[in-house]
């Protein structure tokens, strides 16, 4: 989402919305039909992000956009043909159009006139992983008396905002922690390492334009290339770059986990 945000910000900030088109409003939640009346005439003042939610600020309120698992946003000329899975479009007065493509329809477009951080989806989110609040000390404090598997805990937005399955697996490898380990049984020193690993993995992924496994596309409609740097995710059956052991994969809480049985304890 940060890759996408950076891609579209220079293209849509300060642009005025001429028309809002809903081609298929049944996403995770139905896109409010009132936006068709409400948005024209407003201009995009800010393009920000909280967790994996994109926030488009206007002087009347904020749009909250989520890409779900298969969504992408891109800016094209208004005359460009719609793709089969383009669900909504913002047409701007400069002749360009922001389009949300979302094959699986797990995404969302919501509107709030309150400060966006008060919205129910954002209100109980934990700290941003790239912000100053994520420290080994914080993770250590939060983890005490918790028996949950640490991979599941890292995916919990109330603990940390916006870390997904790929980056959780990658960071756990770099920190030498097995994804199945109980959260409360990780040392303070390992949490220091984990906090740094999370930041490093995310920074490098953003720098590489995101991770494309199947259909993720950035705002230019192109793939990211961080997948080339993945050390465990999707590498089951291949050798560990660090020790040569075979990377294992299994299911944990219905999501796949990948780890090296030798490097991660």
Q: Which is nearer to DNA, 48 or 243 (CB)?
A: 48
Q: How far is the CB of 182 from DNA (least distance, A)?
A: 9
**53-57 and 247-252 strand pairing:** unpaired
Place of tokens 């509107």: 111
Q: Which of residues 22-41 bind DNA (CB under 7 A)?
A: 26, 28
Q: How far apart are CA 231 and CA 8, in angstroms?
A: 29
9 makes contact with DNA (CB under 7 A): no
165 makes contact with DNA (CB under 7 A): yes
164 makes contact with DNA (CB under 7 A): yes
Q: Which of residues 117-146 bind DNA (CB under 7 A)?
A: 120-121, 146
Q: How far is the CB of 152 from DNA (least distance, A)?
A: 5
Measure CA of the first residue to CA of the last residue in the chain; give whole Å. Answer: 31
Each residue 45-84 as x (binds DNA by CB under 7 A) or -, in order, gives ------xxx------------x-xxx-------------x
Q: How far is the CB of 254 from DNA (least distance, A)?
A: 6
**53-57 and 71-77 strand pairing:** unpaired
Applying CB under 7 A, which of residues 212, 221, 242, 248 lies at the interface with DNA? 212
Stretch that binds DNA, among 86-94, 149-157, 172-180, 189-197 (CB under 7 A): 149-157
Applying CB under 7 A, which of residues 14, 147, 241, 250 lies at the interface with DNA? 147
**Interacting residue ranges for DNA, rule: CB under 7 A:** 26, 28, 51-53, 66, 68-70, 84-85, 103-106, 120-121, 146-149, 152, 155, 157, 162, 164-166, 210-216, 253-256
């Amino acid at each position: 989402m940060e890759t996408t945000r950076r891609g579209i910000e220079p293209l849509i900030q300060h642009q005025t919305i001429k028309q809002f088109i809903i081609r298929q409003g049944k996403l995770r939640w139905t896109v409010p039909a009132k936006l068709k009346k409400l948005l024209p005439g407003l201009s995009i003042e800010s393009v920000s992000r909280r967790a994996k939610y994109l926030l488009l600020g206007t002087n009347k309120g904020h749009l909250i956009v989520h890409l779900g698992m298969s969504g992408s946003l891109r800016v094209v000329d208004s005359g460009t043909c719609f793709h089969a899975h383009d669900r909504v479009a913002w047409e701007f007065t400069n002749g360009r159009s922001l389009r949300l493509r979302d094959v699986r329809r797990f995404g969302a477009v919501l509107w709030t006139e309150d400060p966006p951080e008060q919205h129910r989806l954002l209100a109980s989110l934990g700290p941003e992983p790239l912000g100053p609040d994520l420290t080994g000390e914080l993770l250590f404090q939060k983890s005490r008396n918790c028996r949950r598997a640490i991979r599941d805990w890292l995916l919990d937005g109330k603990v940390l905002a916006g870390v997904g399955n790929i980056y959780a697996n990658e960071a756990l490898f770099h920190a030498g922690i097995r994804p199945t380990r109980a959260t409360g049984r990780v040392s303070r020193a390992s949490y220091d390492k984990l906090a740094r690993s999370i930041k490093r993995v995310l920074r490098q992924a953003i720098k590489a334009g995101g991770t494309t496994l199947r259909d993720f596309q950035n705002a230019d409609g192109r793939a990211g290339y961080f997948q080339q740097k993945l050390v465990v995710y999707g590498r089951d059956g291949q050798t560990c770059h660090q020790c040569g052991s075979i990377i294992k994969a299994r299911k944990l809480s219905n999501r796949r986990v990948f780890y090296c049985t030798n490097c991660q304890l």
